[in-house]
């Protein structure tokens, strides 16, 4: 068997100069973790973003502390616009109330007193609301009655002399109109008695008072009347 002739194999020379020209990729240089200067953020938009992020981080830390250690935590934050945000485990009110109870027992009783006052105020408010509704209902009835009386006056003016509205028959009226009519008569009676009383107060002393729609004579008038009867 013939052996291969190694003398005919040509080996390409290694270009060592090219290997020397291959450089490693540049390493990106960073400034590393920089410490942010703690000062107020001047731009309003940036300040709002910073507040949202830091608030979320604060609440997360409070939640983690409660979860890891079983502690009751509360965090309250008031924004620059006056909005209040809070986180509590189990709740902000429970944690704050417990803190006040241990640090200031008098202040801890304040919420109970405020709750009682709130209950009283709510009851008074409900009562006032009911009175307002009743006053509005009465006002509506008054308006309807005034319209009815005005209509009757207009009809009477067109038809000529007729009986007064309180002398008319109320056969065709419904119960609600009859109730309004009765209330109007009571008010009319009260107004007449009041005006008669005012007139009597301006009369001489022998007219003293008005009782049951009758004028009661005074003592001087009765004495003078008896004297005149004796002289006859």
Domain end, chosen from 75, 91, 108, is at 108
Global confidence as pTM: 0.33
Query: Which CATH number is 68's domain given?
Result: 3.40.1810.10
Residue 206: give the domain boundaries. 169-227
Residue that finishes a domain, picked among 59, 77, 108? 108
In this prediction, residue 207 carries a pLDDT of 46
Structure tokens given for 29? 């240089």
What confidence tens digit (pLDDT) does each residue in 53-108 have?
999 999 999 999 988 998 889 999 998 888 889 888 878 888 888 888 887 766 55
Tell me if 37 is assigned to some domain: no
| Residue 161 belongs to a domain | no
Helix (H, G, I), strand (E, B) or coil at 89: strand
* Residue 139 forms part of a structural domain: no
At residue 218, the pLDDT reads 45
**pLDDT at 43 exceeding the cut of 70:** yes
In a domain, 68, yes or no: yes
Neighbours of 75 (CB within 10 A): 19
Provide the domain count of the chain: 2
Report d(CA 217, CA 225) in Å as an integer: 11
Alpha helices, H only, 70-164: 92-103, 105-108, 110-159
Confidence of residue 215 (pLDDT cuts 50, 70, 90): very low
Q: Are 72 and 98 in contact (CB under 8 A)?
A: yes
Looking at 108, 132, 152, the residue that finishes a domain is 108
Position 30 in a domain:
no
Instruction: Judge whether 86 lies within some domain.
Output: yes
Mean of the per-residue pLDDT values of the chain: 71
188 is a domain residue: yes
pLDDT at 165: 55
Q: Contact at 8 Å (CB) between 56 and 50?
A: no
Mean pLDDT of the region 37-63: 87
Q: Residue 167: which of 156, 176, 158, 159 has the closest Cα?
A: 156
pLDDT at 196: 79
What is the pLDDT, as a whole number, of residue 41?
82
179 inside domain: yes
Query: In the prediction, which pLDDT does 116 show?
Result: 66
């Amino acid at each position: 068997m013939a052996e291969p002739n190694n003398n005919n194999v040509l080996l390409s020379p290694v270009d060592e100069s090219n290997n020397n020209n291959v450089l490693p990729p540049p390493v990106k240089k960073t400034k590393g973790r920089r410490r942010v200067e703690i000062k107020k953020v001047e731009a309003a938009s940036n300040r709002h973003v910073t507040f949202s992020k830091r608030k979320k981080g604060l609440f997360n830390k409070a939640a983690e502390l409660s979860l890891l250690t079983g502690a009751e935590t509360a965090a309250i934050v008031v924004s620059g616009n006056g909005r209040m945000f809070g986180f509590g485990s189990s709740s902000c009110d429970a944690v704050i109330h417990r803190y006040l109870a241990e640090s200031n027992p008098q202040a801890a009783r304040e919420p109970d007193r405020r709750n009682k006052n709130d209950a009283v105020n709510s009851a008074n408010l409900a009562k006032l609301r009911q009175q307002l509704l009743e006053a509005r209902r009465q006002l509506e009835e008054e308006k309807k009655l005034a319209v009815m009386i005005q209509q009757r006056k207009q009809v009477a003016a067109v038809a000529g002399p007729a009986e007064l509205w309180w002398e008319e028959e109320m056969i065709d009226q419904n119960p609600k109109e009859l109730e309004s009519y009765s209330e109007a008569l009571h008010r009319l009676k009260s107004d007449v008695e009041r005006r008669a009383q005012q007139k009597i107060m301006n009369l001489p002393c022998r007219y003293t008072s008005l009782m049951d729609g009758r004028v009661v004579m005074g003592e001087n008038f009765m004495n003078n009347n008896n004297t005149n009867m004796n002289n006859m």
